[in-house]
Amino acid sequence: MNSPLKPADASSSEIPVGRGRMENKIVLLFGAGSVGEGWGNGKATSVAYAREGATLIAVDRDKAAADNTASIIHALGGRVASYAADVTDSQSVKAVVDQVMAEHGRIDVLHNNVGTTIMGGPVELTEAEWHTVLNVNLTSAFLTCKHVLPGMAERGKGAIINISSIAAIRYTGYPYSAYYAAKAGINQFTVGLALQYARQGIRVNAIMPGLMNTPLIYQQISGQYADPEAMAQARHDATPMGRMGTGWDIAAASVFLASDEANYITGVCLPVDGGLTCKAA
């Protein structure tokens, strides 16, 4: 079996060195913490942005989780500040955006990493659970964009990265109908914004992770299997490359799409999935 998750620390050999591709960029990342030990997508991407020279604004509902990510960046010599915010609450999001604008005068990159799953179809889910999944996965991106886009439009420049999922475009084998709907919404929300703001110098792209080996799956997915080891092996086996992806795979794609290297790329929903979406369902 592939190696299990390892706790995240500033000495990890997984942490990229960086090439300065985000130098002098102000990056606002929602969902910067991790739900457990190891490298979740948000934590890994936060560190990767900072290693590339960005000033990272790490935001999470759990302030301790955001602080943990910030401590790793600090230990690496990076520039970072951490905040708590509820991405389903407009005023909470606005307060963070206003603070960042007051301190830095701009936001160059908005990265939306927040997400959650609840198992069940229309019969099994309560209406409250349905709305929770849509609010956390989809409405959150609407709210962050609502408050960040005016500043980007005024400057005539900016990049937005939305973390979607391959669940947006195909059945993954899990009975989470609200998650399918929310992530499909993120994809088309991304495309619509990309075209609406293309002439204003704002690029908007989405990343669709495939089967990832992050702490989240051990909290929200493992109940669909006999035990965590069976889950991990099944997910490794289902991927054409023979392994799940990691938070660093998402981080690498994020840095590229947010950087000036991707300045002619917008409206893309990029699978980062080891070839999974090339397979027949």
Mean pLDDT of the chain: 91
pLDDT (tens digit per residue) in 119-151: 999 999 999 999 999 999 999 999 999 999 999
The pLDDT value recorded for residue 97 is: 98
Orientation of helix 63-75 relative to helix 41-51, angle to 10°: 30
Give the tens place of pLDDT for each residue, 56-108: 999 999 999 999 999 999 999 999 999 999 999 999 999 999 999 999 999 99
Residues 205, 160 contacting (CB under 8 angstroms): yes
Task: Report the percent of the chain where pLDDT is more than 90.
Answer: 77
- Report, as residue numbers or ranges, the catalytic residues: 179
Instruction: Evaluate if pTM is beyond 0.85.
Output: yes
Domains and CATH numbers, the chain: 26-275 (3.40.50.720)
